[in-house]
Amino acid sequence: MPLTMTYGRPSPQSAVETVHAALDAGVTLFDTADMYGVGANERLLGRALGGHRDEVTIATKLGIVALPGVGIPVGLNARPERVRKCVEGSLRRLGTDRIDLLYLHRVDPSVPIEETIGAMAELVSEGSVRELGVCEVTAELLERANAVHRLAALQSEWSLFSRDVESGPLQAARRLGLAVVAYSPLGRGMLTGDPGSTTRLSLLDVRRFLPRWRGKNLQRNLDMVEVVRNVADAHSCTPAQVALAWLLNKGHDVVPIPGTSSPRHLRANLAALDVMLTKQDTARLDRLEAHGARARASDARSPCDAVGSQAIS
């Protein structure tokens, strides 16, 4: 859920209402990160969950350094001595005594992944963290991380628009028996077909700077969304629901985490569970390919996470 500042800045009230709507609908997984809104996202989630803490799984992340005040990612720091400090901050902001799933948000190339995961594993043995995961890693790094401490999940961008994970990391995650958490499953909103996701973007909306939202790429990508809409029309559902159903079809180990700050969108996204795509639909959707890189070249070390959001799946 882009609760704080990602794709514009939603009102805190609608963000809290969305968390409550999620709880009412039986959602149990909430995804945040220490850099989302530079802690504001974790604070909001902790407050909104209130007495429901024990009914849910809270996933948060560390490793990206964000510019205070603005939340723009400015670097990576996953040094072992920083890991404990990050977790203490997350626990305080979330108002809890444990993190259910702690991800390494991005691998810090200046630190061997074994050292970062080793420091995270210490917190598991102490009880302040329950499970570990990693985001956006290669198959090799996933195996190395898992060799230090058994992981629970790989989180990567995965959608009809972003298929990189399918060439290596997905197979490695399956070999290791990990859950595969698909972030930005709606292509950062574009796959919903909602014109608001491509036009009228606010000055604070990170998508203004992404290659897929620019010039010819944008037009070609919108043409692809028409294919998704076509499939959706045949099922009397929405393009967003088709995008989620396509991921859900990829296996029981796949957990899409659509982000929203709207109770209405939340409920609509959950209804994707009832959409049954045919083999022909899936084959048609499988052929789609987005135009333009999914991140700016300057984000190469932390692809696509020029974002601050919370997801509920």
| Contact positions vs ligand NAP (CB under 6 A) | 1-2, 7, 31, 105, 135-136, 155, 183-189, 192, 194, 197, 240, 257-262, 265, 268-269, 304-305, 307, 309-311
Distance CA(55)–CA(45), nearest Å, equals 14
> Out of 7, 36, 103, 183, which one is annotated catalytic?
36
Residue 82 and residue 119: Cα distance in Å, rounded?
Answer: 9
Which C-beta is closer to ligand NAP: that of 127 or that of 300? 300
Q: How far is the CB of 244 from ligand NAP (least distance, A)?
A: 9
Which residues is 131 bridged to in the sheet? 101
- Considering the complex, what minimum distance in angstroms separates the CB of residue 185 from ligand NAP? 5
Tokens found for residue 241: 């629901």
User: What's the rounded Cα separation, in Å, for the pair 48 and 104?
Assistant: 24
Q: How far is CA 108 from CA 76, 82, 114, 141, 251, in A?
A: 6, 12, 11, 12, 30
Among candidate residues 198, 259, 247, 253, the one with its CA nearest the CA of residue 226: 198
**Cα separation of the two ends of the chain:** 9
Residue 162 CB, shortest distance to ligand NAP, in Å, is 9
Burial of 187 (0-12, 13-18, 19+ CB in 10 A): buried
Return the number of the residue (232 or 277) whose C-beta is nearest ligand NAP.
232
Paired tokens of 220: 């070609």
Q: Closer to ligand NAP at the Cβ: 93 or 105?
A: 105
3-state secondary structure of 33: coil
Of 111 and 265, which has the nearer Cβ to ligand NAP?
Answer: 265
Q: What Å distances lie between residue 184 and 56, 125, 133, 163, 305, CA to CA?
A: 21, 31, 17, 12, 10
Q: Looking at beta carbons, which residue is closest to ligand NAP?
A: 259
- Contact predicate 128/150, CB 8 Å: no
Shortest distance, position 214 Cβ to ligand NAP, whole Å: 17
In whole angstroms, the minimum distance from the beta carbon of 231 to ligand NAP comes to: 16
> In this complex, which beta carbon is closest to ligand NAP, that of residue 90 or of residue 197?
197
Active site annotation includes 36: yes
Measured from the CB of residue 180, what is the shortest distance to ligand NAP in angstroms? 12
Write out the two tokens for 52. 């429901």
Task: Confirm if 101 and 153 have CB atoms less than 8 A apart.
Answer: yes
Spatial CA neighbour of 116 closest among 103, 126, 130, 129: 103
Q: Which residues have C-beta within 8 Å of that of residue 57, sequence separation ≥ 6?
A: 28, 29, 30, 100, 101
Considering the complex, state which of residue 96 and residue 192 has its C-beta at the smaller distance from ligand NAP.
192
Q: Could you list the active site residues?
A: 36
